């Protein structure tokens, strides 16, 4: 398990592959933003 999967499991109490993603990409890491408007790098968590 890498850090990204672990972060999602801890923060959202669900598996990384179970998180729904929006069709929006994070400006910092270029990953898709999840259903909560957050990304594993912490962008949006302000």
| Closer CB to Zn ion, 11 or 41, in the complex | 41
Q: Are 5 and 16 contacting, i.e. CB atoms less than 8 angstroms apart?
A: yes
Q: Give least dist CB 4 to Zn ion, A.
A: 10
Q: Give least dist CB 17 to Zn ion, A.
A: 17
3-state secondary structure at position 24? strand
| Closer CB to Zn ion, 14 or 37, in the complex | 37
Q: How many CB atoms lie within 10 A of CB 38?
A: 18
The contact set with Zn ion (CB under 5 A) reads 26, 28-29, 39, 41, 43
């Amino acid at each position: 398990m890498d850090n990204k999967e672990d972060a999602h499991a801890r923060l959202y109490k669900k598996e990384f592959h179970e998180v729904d993603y929006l069709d929006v990409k994070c400006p910092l890491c270029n990953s898709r933003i999840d259903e909560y408007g957050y990304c594993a790098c912490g962008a949006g968590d302000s």
